[in-house]
Chains A and B, each alone.
Chain A
Amino acid sequence: MPDLRELYQEVILEHSKAPRNYRELATANHRAEGYNPLCGDHFTVYLDLEGDWIRDISFQGSGCAISQASASLMTQSVKGKTREDAARLFDQFHKLVTGQSPANGNRAELGKLAVFSGVSEFPVRIKCATLAWHALHAAMQGKQETVSTE
């Protein structure tokens, strides 16, 4: 039986209540929206890209604790990284929350994002955890349209 405490870890609850980098970014030169039509969760991710370097990132929007915390932790994790690093992190994060990452695998690079490992036990919540990441991915590619989880 999946454990609720595994899903709602302290770090997740804390970030959902006080999300970091929650603002519109005045210096943003890329932005994208993520939308989950099934639940109405909606985020905008703002990026200040200098070449391949993510100089600054922020987000705004509304959603459940998992999607809020994921967006918040994502902004912390990719700030100062390159696009390539961020894309690799998304790939690892995606494997983590979909249960494709071996329990004893290399999670070092994920850092704090490892708190989302419990999501894999709650398949309907995977989209909550990845929504902001899909928006980031779109923003990095310079796409303007809203990214949907469907």
Chain B
Amino acid sequence: MTTAAKRLPGEFRSPQLRDAGVEFDVDKVRSDFPILRQRVHGRPLVYLDNAATSQKPQVVIDAIGRYYERDNANIHRGVHFLSEHATEEFEGARRKMQSFLNAADASEIVFVRGATEAINLVAQTYGRSNVHAGDEVLITAMEHHSNIVPWQILCEEKGARLRVAPISDSGELLLTDFANLLGPRTKIVAVTHVSNALGTITPVQRVIEMAHRRHIPVLVDGAQAVPHLNVDVQALDCDFYVFSGHKVYGPTGIGVLYGKSALLDAMPPYQGGGDMISSVTFEKTTYNKLPYKFEAGTPHVAGAIGLGAAIEYVNGLGMDNIAAHEHELLAYATETVSAIPGIRLIGTAKEKAGVLSFLLDSIHPHDIGTILDQEGIAIRTGHHCAQPVMQRFGIAATARASFALYNTREEVDALVEGIQKVREVFA
């Protein structure tokens, strides 16, 4: 059992927030998420699988419903009222993404299906134009499969080489090794902002500086970062930044590729079709301007609008408040979970966000997951689509609890009790 004093719901106040005179009312926040009200296997749902996908606040669900009830029309081509209105909403969502990432211009925001599609887009357009035989693509040892495989496909096609910067035993990028891997043949660097399996926050600012000294562009995979951190693509000076909407309280099937306009302009289109053209004849097609050049076909209009509502929701709470709440939660979880006999944490970087990966004795994470599920606790078990990370630590899988703005200390206590239950079953 945890030795920490139990708190009643709503009693939690982060010290940083108290100092700032701002209150983060986690009870109120929870009431915005209808899914959290349910019971699972007779227990209150404790949802700690947020790195896989986050739950959606009512405002997001309503925005999607309202779009289909009131505004549904195809965009960018109708002269009628609904089409104009839907186009306005869709482009409004794009401007919300622009300000969320602090992009210089809304035309630098390309709507895609998610981070995976965004990375594939860059690999297949920028990559195919700029990476040639003998060239190198540099990634890190803690990438998600979605930031490995698209580059492997590219390297295989081009006869290029995929290089991997190593990480330490605590799960931190080894910057000296990274710097040494940057060379004259390096054509692009692709690096995660926050590791989905370890929770490590990568020092992307320094990574970008190092790469830029050699005029190498950098793609940052922000899928696990945008729910937890303020991101300013201009301050970072990254060349590409990608994220998935569903991990930041938005719908599935929508995500964002940010790219510097000079780079996007020079890139060939990804997919051909409607909306991405200015004019088409059988002899020649002229492509549309940014960002439409990369948005062939009718986009996920409802998804973009839903994601816009999600970003507004996050802005309303304030990313600093969210980060402070989650930071304290992760610190509390790290302390209480690691106090359980037989626990081994995987990923103990100094700078972390949202993720607690662990092993318990020799018990397989799947067994941990099944037993916790019976307690109403949802965690992820397995390799987290990061098999090379598992190989780095010489393990097959981990159990991963991942946190969001609506999680509470009581839920961490439930997790700790659940892990004790696992120990009892396997005693």
Using a CB–CB cutoff of 8 Å, the interface residues on chain A facing chain B are 1-2, 4, 7-8, 13, 38-42, 62-66, 68, 122, 124-125, 128
Contacts and interface: CB of A to CB of B under 8 A. Distances in A.
Contacts of A125: 366, 370
16 contacts: A2-B41, A4-B370, A4-B371, A8-B367, A39-B382, A40-B382, A40-B383, A41-B366, A42-B396, A64-B364, A64-B366, A65-B364, A65-B367, A65-B426, A68-B364, A124-B370
B343 interface: no
Given A13-B426, A62-B396, A65-B363, A40 B387 contact: yes
B197 interface: no
A42 B425 CA distance: 24
Contacts of B42: 1
Nearest to B366: A64
Given A1-B42, A4-B425, A62-B396, A38 B367 contact: no
Contacts of A122: 370
Contact of A40 (B41, B370, B390, B425): B390
Contacts of B364: 63-65, 68
A39 B426 contact: no
Contacts, number: 49
Contacts of A124: 370
Most buried by B among A39, A41, A124, A125: A39
Interface in B148-173: none
Contacts of B387: 40
B382 A2 contact: no
B75 interface: no
Contact of A38 (B41, B374, B382, B425): B382
Contacts of A1: 41-42, 374
Contacts of B140: none
Interface string B24-62: 000000000000000001100000000000000000000
B381 interface: yes
B397 interface: yes
B371 A40 contact: no
A122 B387 CA distance: 25
Interface residues of B, number: 19
Q: Identify whether the interface residues of A are mostly helix, strand, loop, or mixed.
A: mixed
Interface of B: 41-42, 363-367, 370-371, 374, 381-383, 387, 390, 396-397, 425-426
B394 to A, nearest CB: 11
Contacts of B363: 65
A76 B41 CA distance: 35
Nearest to B375: A4
Contacts of B374: 1-2, 4
Contacts of A41: 366, 396
B197 to A, nearest CB: 13
A54 B366 CA distance: 31
A7 B370 contact: yes
Contacts of A38: 382
Contact of B367 (A2, A42, A62, A64): A64
Contacts of A65: 363-364, 367, 426
Given A4-B374, A125-B370, 15 more contacts: A1-B41, A2-B374, A4-B371, A7-B370, A8-B367, A13-B425, A39-B366, A39-B381, A39-B383, A64-B366, A65-B367, A65-B426, A66-B367, A122-B370, A125-B366
Most interface-central of A1, A64, A125 (chain B CB within 10 A) = A64
The 10 closest A-B pairs by CB, nearest first: A64-B364, A64-B366, A40-B396, A65-B367, A39-B382, A64-B367, A40-B383, A8-B425, A4-B374, A40-B397
A76 B130 CA distance: 58
A91 B370 CA distance: 25
Contacts of A39: 366, 381-383, 397
A140 to B, nearest CB: 26
Contacts of B381: 39
A63 B365 CA distance: 9
A81 B39 CA distance: 47
Nearest to A8: B425
Contacts of A62: 396
Contacts of B390: 40
A130 to B, nearest CB: 14
Contacts of A42: 396
A88 B72 CA distance: 56
A128 B383 CA distance: 16
Contacts of B396: 40-42, 62
Contacts of B397: 39-40
A102 to B, nearest CB: 25
* Residue picked from A7, A62, A65, most chain B C-beta under 10 Å: A65
A62 B383 CA distance: 14
A7 B370 CA distance: 10
Nearest to B364: A64
